[in-house]
Amino acid sequence: MNISRCLSLFVTLFIFTSSLPAQVFESKTFENGMVVSADKYASEIGNEILKQGGNAVDAAVAVQFALAVTLPRAGNIGGGGFMVIHLANGETAALDFREKAPTKATRDMYLRNGEFKSELSWEGILAVGVPGTVDGMIKALERYGKMPLDMVIQPAIKLAREGYVLSYSHAESLNDHRDTFRKYQASARYFTTGDTTLFSEGDLFVQKDLAGTLERIARFGREGFYAGPVADAIINEMERYKGLISYKDLYNYESKWRDLVEVDFRDYKLHIMPPPSSGSIAIAQILKMIQDYPIKEMGHNSAEYVHLLSEAMRRAFADRSFYLGDPDFVDIPLQRLLSQEYNTERMASFSPDKATASSSLSHGEIAGHPESDETTHFSIVDNEGNAVAVTTTLNGSFGSHVSVSGAGFLLNNEMDDFSAQPGEPNTYGLIGAEANAIEPGKRMLSSMSPAIVTKNGKVDMVIGAAGGPRIITATLQSFLNRALFDMRAQQATTFPRFHHQWLPDTIFIDDFGLSPDTQKLLEEKGHFIFPMPGIGRAHNIYIETDGSLSSGVDPRGDGYAAGH
Ligand code: GLY
């Protein structure tokens, strides 16, 4: 594989999707409820729902719909995601509202004259998977919410109809994508100024068509999205640009309750979103690989610590690439992947002195497709102790860039998360695995890893992140920083992170995240180090021993904690 090609792709993806200035945050502490999300409006809406007597699931649904208005690059109704729930009574649940491949999708749909055209799975109508968010939110609310749907959607409708004030980073992100929006009629109308001027911080951003769609959902439930005028509008877009999604695909879409992956580590139990999220398996494997080493004694982010964790990450990501896909389509050897015996065996080749070459590991010839940074995570705890972790996405920043005319929302480009051409190198020189090959109705593999951590049966952390594959390693470090090093909430979220994903054979570090002498020690072991402007963006809540809630808002983004 061409490593410089891959590294430049990483950096391009990052710069393209993240122009957020680093900020310094103080942790906030509240007693009765808290919402931490990527956006101030959305966090405040969630907190209001909690104050009005809604529970954490009511607030989560309100936040998801609010983000569809105020964070159009990742918040969505045209995408999908995962929700992890831990109720105060100990009941847990995992909801998969990931997009699905349309029925007409084929394994080779991105090949032209035998050549993989990666741009087709990344931008435009063929990149779109059948959206899952609306069905997911309604299903979550029906099973666990206390409030009616129209009540939790109202704040989002108001924001869409009356407008909200663009922040600097929101204005910039819209401006950065204006050339691509201009290629698609409805997106040009909704997401550019319509002339040569740019959006500015302080502009009022009104989305009347989106308000209409949200009103239909509030009134008719899932029928308001997957049937009727909104479905007609989606199908019109498919016809306009020759897309694959049919009425039947929309109407038949169903989100799915799944069994959580649970993993014990020291005094903690992690409850993590199972496949088609790859994060649970990878995090569980990494924890099992490192647990017998004197991790704490190595010291946080010492060369020894970074080396050990990177070697475990390398091995877990190699397995991810080969074994993981939609569990409804592929037989994932879960028991073995999660067994201590298997993971101890995986570390048999670990040397404390020397990096293992990725090419020397099994499945070393196979790699996953690089994933976008642009996803968003939020964490919620209510006054009864119910907790919800949600990660949601359009995949790339603003997804496919195709908007639904008359309905006011963007469609995802989630098809890019499939291995578009199994067994053959793609445009990036990478090779994907069969388990994640495109099939009609299949869900594409994800890195989104919403997780709730309990200690003695009580919720201790609600964690998760945005950042493509870095979601997995950022979430892991949000946990370890607290569990091993007793960091305070904001420290645990802020401290420099690192990431290894097997291929490219590189440790990515937060810019200025490791001292030069630590880097030198790692290089002497044979590691290649590559600094980047941020390893994931985490939005965490940590529960203190007195029961109060402390926020961990990632300074790598412009998130916000609201509580009471
Ligand atoms: N689209 C990013 C992910 O699902 O991991």
Cα-Cα-Cα-Cα dihedral sign, residues 467, 473, 475, 478 = negative
Nearest CA to ligand 1 atom 1: 395
Tokens found for residue 384: 């009864």
Query: Looking at 356, 375, 473, 494, which residue is catalytic?
Result: 375
pLDDT at 425: 38
Is the pLDDT assigned to residue 198 strictly greater than 70? yes
Nearest CA to ligand 1 atom 4: 446
Rounded Cα distance between 229 and 234, Å, is 9
17 C-beta closer than 6 A to ligand 1: no
Answer with the residue of higher pLDDT: 195 or 11.
195
Query: In the predicted model, what is the mean pLDDT of residues 551-562?
Result: 94
The yes-or-no answer on residue 375 being catalytic is yes
Q: If we measure between CA atoms, which residue out of 209, 269, 309, 277 comes closest to residue 447?
A: 277
pLDDT at 114: 84
Please tell me the distance between residue 550's alpha carbon and the centre of ligand 1 in angstroms. 27
DSSP code for 546: T
Query: In the predicted model, what is the mean pLDDT of residues 118-135?
Result: 96
With cut-offs at 50, 70 and 90, classify the pLDDT of residue 115: confident
**Ligand 1 atom with the shortest distance to the CA of 371:** 2
Is the pLDDT assigned to residue 503 strictly greater than 90? no
pLDDT at 25: 65
Query: In the predicted model, what is the mean pLDDT of residues 273-295?
Result: 97
Please tell me the distance between residue 353's alpha carbon and the centre of ligand 1 in angstroms. 34
Quote the crossing angle between the two packed helices 149-162 and 133-144, to the nearest 10°: 140
Question: What is the total residue count of the chain?
Answer: 564
**Ligand 1 atom with the shortest distance to the CA of 393:** 1
121 C-beta closer than 6 A to ligand 1: no
**Residue 196, number of CB atoms within 10 A of its CB:** 7
Please tell me the distance between residue 448's alpha carbon and the centre of ligand 1 in angstroms. 6
**Ligand 1 atom with the shortest distance to the CA of 469:** 5
Beta bridge partners of 158: none
374 C-beta closer than 6 A to ligand 1: no
Please tell me the distance between residue 357's alpha carbon and the centre of ligand 1 in angstroms. 26
Strands 268-272 and 261-265: antiparallel
pLDDT at 21: 38
pLDDT at 388: 98
Q: 431 Cβ partners below 8 Å, 6+ apart? A: 365, 366, 367, 419, 422, 423, 424, 425
pTM to 2 decimals? 0.94
With cut-offs at 50, 70 and 90, classify the pLDDT of residue 362: low
Please tell me the distance between residue 438's alpha carbon and the centre of ligand 1 in angstroms. 15
Is cis: bond before 504, omega within 30 of 0? yes
